[in-house]
Amino acid sequence: MPKPPVAGDAPLAPSRRSLRGLDWFVFCVADIQTGFGPFIAVYLTTQKWTQIDIGLILSVAGLVALVGQIPGGAIVDAARSERVVASLAIVVISISALTYAAFPTFSAVLVAAILHAAASCVLGPAIAALSLGLVGHRAIGERLGRNARFSSIGNGLAAAAMGACGHFFSARAVFVITALLLAPAQLALRNIASGEIDADRAHGGRVEPGVEPKHFHVPVVLQKRPLLIFAGCIMLFHLANAAMLPLMASALTTRSSASATVLIAACIVVPQLVVAGISPWVGRQTGLWGRRPLLIIGFAALPLRALIFAAVSDPRLVVLAQCLDGVTAAALGVLVPLILVDLTRGTGRFNMAQGLIGTMTGIGAAASTSLGGYLTDYFGSPVAFLGLGAVATTALASALIFMPETRPNPD
C-alpha cells in the first residue's frame, strides 16, 4: 500500500506581491541588523566607555543570543502567525536602537542589548518559517537562495551607508537610521499576504498520518541522528571559521596599518558580492544535485582559505581568497535551513531545529576566537591559520563520512 503523502507536499502558488514583500523584508532586516555590528563598539567608544564595559555588554548579548536560540525557535513553532512574530521582533530591535542613541548609559544599553539579542533569536527562524510557509517544500531551495541574495545586498549597502553617516554626522546617527528602517520593514511585511502562508508548512508540516504527536516532543526531535551529525559539523565549521577574518585583520594591521581599514573593508565586501551573485544558483542546484555535494563544496572552501591565509602575505591575494568565504557563505546560507527543512519534515519542529543549529553555531564561534588568539600568541599567525584549517578539515571529513543526503525522493 503506498504511503500517504506528507501534508505540505502539494505545490503552492504565492502571489508576486507576497514574494516581493518577502524579498524586501529580508533586505530591510539585513539593513537593520547591520547597525548592531561593529558600529556598537565605535559608538560606545565615542561615548567615553571603557573597553571593559563595552566587552561586558557584548558578552552579555552574546550569552543571551546563545541561550535563546532553541527557545526562540520553539516560540516560532508555537505561534500561529509568523508575520506577527516577525513584526514584533523588528519593533523590539528598533526600540533597542533608539535606546542606544538616546540613552547611552550602562543600564539602558545593557537592557537594549539583551532585548536585541532576544528578538534576533526569534527573527531568524521567523524569516525561514515565512519562506517555507509561503512557497512550500518543493520551492524552498530556490527561495532560500533569493533570501541569501537580498540579505547579502542589504548587508553591503547598509554597511556602506551607515559608515558614511557615522563619518559625516556621528556614530549616534547609525542607530537612528537603524530605528527608522522599521517603517520600510513593516511595509514589506504587510505586502506578504497572511492567507498565502501555510502555518503547518511553516513549522515543518503536519505530523505524518499514523504517527503520534508525542513522538515529536522536544528531546526526541533533538536526538535525531542526522540532525545531531549536522549540528556537530556546523559547530566544527564555525570553530574554524569565526576567528579567521579577525586574525587576518590583525595581521594586516601589523603589516600595513595605513591601508588596513580599506583592506578589511574589501575583505568584508568581496564575499558579500559573491554571495549575492551565486546564492540563487545554489538554491536551484540543490534540487538537481542534492544537498550533500553543495554542502561539501561549502565546507571544502574553508580549509583552502585557511591554507592561503597561512601561506601568503600579499594583501591582494588575501582579498582574493575572501572569494572562498563568499562561496562558503552562499552554500551554507542556503543549505543550513534547507537541510533542516528536510530533516524536520512532518514533525512541526522546523524552527526549534533552527534554534539547535544556532546554538551550536554560537558555541563554535565563541570558542573559535579563544582558540585562534591562543595559537597566534604562542605560535604565530601562520600556525594559527593552519590550526584553524585542521579544524575545518575535520568538519569537512565529518560531513563526508557521516552526513547523509537529505533531499527527499522526488517520487
| All cell numbers assigned to 355 | 534554534
| Res 91: pLDDT | 95
CA angle at 336 for the pair 9 and 267, rounded to the nearest 5°: 140
Q: Name the residue with cell 527527499.
A: 408
Q: Which pLDDT tens digit goes with each residue over 322-356? A: 899 999 999 998 999 899 988 888 777 788 888 88
Q: Does domain 208-411 have CATH number 3.30.2090.10?
A: no
All 3 cell numbers of residue 410?
Answer: 522526488
Which residues, other chains included, contact 175 with Cβ-Cβ below 8 Å and sequence gap of 6+? 35, 39, 43, 97, 98, 100, 101
d(CA 62, CA 357): 15
At the top level of CATH, which class does the domain 15-203 belong to?
mainly alpha
- The amino acid present at 57, given as its one-letter code, is I
pTM summary value:
0.79
pLDDT band, residue 4 (cuts 50/70/90)? very low
What amino acid is encoded at 355 in this protein?
A: G
**CA-to-CA dists, residue 173 to 39, 119, 167, 179, angstroms:** 10, 22, 10, 10
pLDDT digits (tens, 9 = 90+) for 24-52: 999 999 888 877 766 777 778 778 888 68
CATH 1.20.1250.20 in the chain, residues? 15-203, 208-411
Contact 163, 42 (CB under 8 A): no
Q: Are 156 and 276 in contact (CB under 8 A)?
A: yes
